[in-house]
Amino acid sequence: MSATLPSLQAWLEIRRQSIDEALDRFVPADGEPRIVWDAMRYSLLAGGKRLRPLLALAAAEAVAERQAQDPDRAATLALPAACALELIHTYSLVHDDLPAMDNDVLRRGRPTAHVVYGDGMAILAGDALLTQAFALLASEPREVPGLPASELASRKIAAIRLIAEAAGASGMVGGQAIDLRAADAGAAALDAAALRDMHARKTGALIRAAALAGASMAGAPPPLSAAIDEYASQVGLAFQIVDDILDVEGASADLGKTAGKDAAAGKPTYPALYGLEESKRLAAGCIDAALRALADAGLSGHLPALARWVTGRQS
């Protein structure tokens, strides 16, 4: 593991830079009317781990490598979809932070969008980020040398469908609805199976869609897509367990958001349900399963190190 970490760090740095540059181009500073583009950029360009776009790019690269194709070309193909996923993730945070939802005032170390722009404009900025994600998925990349236009169109359609279904009423939004209802009802509202279902929708679905959309833009055949799906499902679950653990253990300064918030709100969490040590064992088990799925399909690249990074993070 220590041998791969420096290479992961270098890769993370290069890819994060290309993601941030692309986000700045796809949600430009000169958009009109200015107020809504400013509010979108405020939340979008506030940093963040960029986990979903990184997963999309790593999956695209791994699929290309596995098929003896150029990983950099695959990453270029998947970059707009990767950015669209970050737009969707950011919109979900903006809406989730609203007083009518989680009522949070701190996010990525800064005041939340509604604190700065007001509730109405924050709702609109979220709506605009979500809509812009689909404009981006449909328009970029415009053309790719060596890839027939019809093949590019059908890969885009597949990615749009994957992402919209994962982000929608049966996926991410559905998970937020369950969460909202459970928070209203108190901590005892969800048992272990219901908690897992809620997280599979609320965070898991978009993480899966990220890896699958990256694989799809790189032209993954069904067996590779299935392996990527299993990998991303396990990574998504581990990510959520670690999130809950950090909410208990972390300090607000490291997290960039209010620590202990979930527990204080009476929300069901993995540590509350299983205890801290068992939660850590569960997360480690997910990563093992993710790595097995990759190995069985002959996939590697940065995907294994990215899975380990998810559980090792401190914020």
List interacting residues with a second copy (CB under 8 A).
31-33, 35-37, 40, 91, 95, 98, 100-101, 118-121, 123-124, 126-128, 130-132, 134-135, 137-139, 149-150, 153-154, 156-157, 160-161, 164-165, 167-170, 173-174, 176-178, 180-181, 201
- Nearest approach in angstroms of CB 41 to a second copy is 10
Residue whose CB is less far from a second copy, 122 or 297: 122
The burial class, CB within 10 Å (0-12 / 13-18 / 19+), for 289 is: middle
- Nearest approach in angstroms of CB 243 to a second copy is 20
- Nearest approach in angstroms of CB 262 to a second copy is 16
Classify 111 as helix, strand or coil. strand
- Nearest approach in angstroms of CB 194 to a second copy is 10
- Nearest approach in angstroms of CB 163 to a second copy is 8
Residue whose CB is less far from a second copy, 66 or 89: 89
- Quote the tokens at residue 14: 């290069």
Residues 74, 287: Cα–Cα separation, whole Å: 25
Q: 22-45 burial string, b = 16+ CB within 10 Å, else e? A: bbeebbeeeeeeeebbebbbbbbe
DSSP code at position 135: H
- Nearest approach in angstroms of CB 250 to a second copy is 26
Q: HSE on the CB side for 173, CA within 13 Å?
A: 13
Classify 292 as helix, strand or coil. helix
Residue whose CB is less far from a second copy, 159 or 297: 159
Q: 3-class secondary structure for 225-289? A: HHHHHHHHHHHHHHHHHHHHHHHHHCCHHHHCCCCCHHHHCCCCCHHHHHCHHHHHHHHHHHHHH
Residue whose CB is less far from a second copy, 200 or 306: 200
Residue whose CB is less far from a second copy, 10 or 185: 185
Residue whose CB is less far from a second copy, 154 or 314: 154
